[in-house]
Structure 1
Amino acid sequence: MRSPSLRSRGEEQIRDEHGVPRGSLLGFWRWAYSQTLDNALRGVLAEYLVGLALGGPDRDARVEWDPYDLTTPDGVKIEVKSTAYLQSWAQKRKSTLVFNIPETNAWDSATGSWGLSRARQSDMYVFCVFNAVEPETADPLDMTQWDFYVAPTSRVNAALGGQKTVVLSSLKSRVAPEKVTFTGLADAVRRAV
């Protein structure tokens, strides 16, 4: 069932109490979501990019509190994590490439309740690294500026246990994810299953 709050065209008008148009949903999207170097928004963009690489996002709109980010057509649950050297603010040095990978209690939006046991909720991880280092040429929409690493959650669990974060170098040496390009993501996910 489609939520009445789900909007997809962007043409929808924002009206004042007299019914006078004051803006549009597209205007809000441009205002709120155009800074793709912002670390919080970049994570959402990474989810969308992985969804595109897998044939298109698996639903009409992102669900913020789902226990994982995407589902493949054959039911594989994917968690997408992102990191970058650059941020949207002034930096004295490049950021360390760190991913958050904590075990969580799953939220069930159908029942409005949390699961009882902590675990990594997905079958697969896709770790996305925005690898640009020069702010003047950084473009999160350019897939040549991204590296993608794919690993089954079982391997993340075996190598990292209950660890809550992992730096890229440790991820590569301990988990040994497959490094791929954007166009190689779908095949890498299929291989990792």
Structure 2
Amino acid sequence: MNISIQQIQNRLNDHLFKDRILDNSFRGFWCEAMVAQALGQRCAIVGDGWFPWDLQIGPLTANFPDRVRVQVKNTARLQPWNLHDGIQSKASFNLTYRNLPKSLRFEERGIPCESRGFLCDAFILCEHPENDPRRANQKDPSQWRFYVLPVRGPNSAVTETEMQYLEGRLAAGSTSASTQRHPRTLAKGIRGRPQIHSIGIAELTLRNLKQALELA
């Protein structure tokens, strides 16, 4: 029997994304594709393997603002393993500050990138807050809430105190360090952080991303 590549792809897609509640291992892929689709055709998915950022607008070899780099994070209250025990996951996001892996050899390849940092220009945080298994469908874009967090420029969502902590950790020998965000406190702007309000999929546009980065 002849087996085609397309048949295998279809079978794998049907298996991985058949359920309304997605496994943690590949829910991130769904969110990256969802955000890329919302941002439009100019947005490319580039986060394969160990690549530092997930989405990119503009040429790989360009500098900001001609190239905008986005990391996509996601969190969901329901997981395949907690559907029946009543224990729901807490919603949180880790913003990771790290050294650029030398194995990527970006300098040799002519790819501009800081030697350490968040290795992106903005985070887009995806939250699926639905906690009723009968209604939840993590494949439905309308059920997600999004937070756009610039990490460069005057609108940076990271405070100077946080930056000092992160830089200190790396200076002390750590390869990475993180600061957390929680949906319930993002809109409050606690600890000197700017207020970040959630938006729906219709508001998640390239124009709004550029406005957050003060590019429009």
TM bracket (short chain): 0.7 to 0.9
| Separation (CA, whole Å) in 1 of partners of 2:96 and 2:201 | 25
Alignment of 1:125 onto 2:145: no
Cα pair 2:96 2:179 within 8 Å, conserved: yes
CA distance in 2, matches of 1:45, 1:24: 19
1:60–1:126 Cα change, 3 Å: closer
CA contact (8 A) 1:148 1:185 kept: yes
Q: Is 2:168 the partner of 1:183?
A: no
Shift of 1:70: 0.4
Compared with structure 1, are the counterparts of its residues 127 and 112 closer, same or farther at alpha carbon in structure 2 (3 Å cutoff)?
same
Q: 1:1-47: CA deviations, max 9, x gaps?
A: xxxxxxxxx9417xxxxxxxxx7232233334445521232222111
Letter of the aligned partner of 1:168 in structure 2?
A: P
* Structure 1 equivalent of residue 89 of structure 2: 95
Offset of residue 135 of structure 1 = 1.1
1:55 to 2:40 alignment: yes
Aligned residue in 2 for 1:142: 140
The answer on whether the counterparts of 2:46 and 2:53 sit within 8 Å (CA) in structure 1 is: no
The 1-side partners of 2:134 and 2:126 are apart by 21
2:47–2:53 Cα contact (<8 Å) kept: no
RMSD: 2.9
Hey, what's the Cα distance between the residues in 2 that align with 1:60 and 1:127?
16
- Mapped to 1, the partners of 2:106 and 2:204 lie a distance apart of 33
Matches within 5 A, 1:1-193: 11-12=4-5, 24-35=8-19, 37-56=22-41, 58-59=43-44, 62-73=47-58, 74-90=66-82, 91-107=85-101, 111=105, 117-154=115-152, 155-158=156-159, 160-161=162-163, 162=166, 163-172=178-187, 173=189, 174-186=193-205, 187-193=207-213
Q: Distance in 1 between matches of 2:93 and 2:5?
A: 36
CA contact (8 A) 1:66 1:109 kept: no
Q: CA deviation at 1:140?
A: 1.5
The percentage of counterpart residues that share the same residue type is 26
**Structure 1 or 2: more strand by fraction:** 1
Normalising by structure 2, what TM-score? 0.68
User: What is residue 19 of structure 1 aligned with on the other side?
Assistant: none
What are the superposed Cα offsets for residues 60-107 of structure 1, whole Å, 9 maximum, x if unpaired?
Answer: 775131111101244211111111111111243221111021112234
Q: CA separation of 1:68/1:189 partners in 2, compared to 1, >3 Å: closer, same or farther? A: same
Output the TM-score relative to the length of structure 1. 0.75
Superimposed CA distance per residue, residues 110-141 of structure 1 (whole angstroms, 9 cap, x where no aligned partner): 5389x894310111111110121111221122
- Deviation track 1:48-68 (CA, whole Å, cap 9, x = no partner) reads 111000114744775131111
Please report how far the alpha carbon of residue 108 of structure 1 lies from its aligned counterpart in structure 2 after TM superposition: 6.5
Structure 1 unaligned residues grouped into runs of 5+? 1-9, 14-22
Mind listing any 5+ residue stretches in structure 2 that lack a counterpart? 59-65, 108-112, 167-177
Structure 1's 146 and 60: CA in aligned 2 closer, same or farther, altered over 3 A? closer
CA contact (8 A) 1:151 1:175 kept: no
Q: Kindly tell me: are residues 146 and 32 of structure 1, through their superposed partners in 2, closer, same or farther at Cα, counting changes over 3 Å?
A: closer
Question: Which has the higher relative contact order, 1 or 2, with Cα contacts under 8 A spaced 6 or more apart?
Answer: 2
Decide whether the 8 Å contact of 1:48 with 1:57 is kept in 2: no
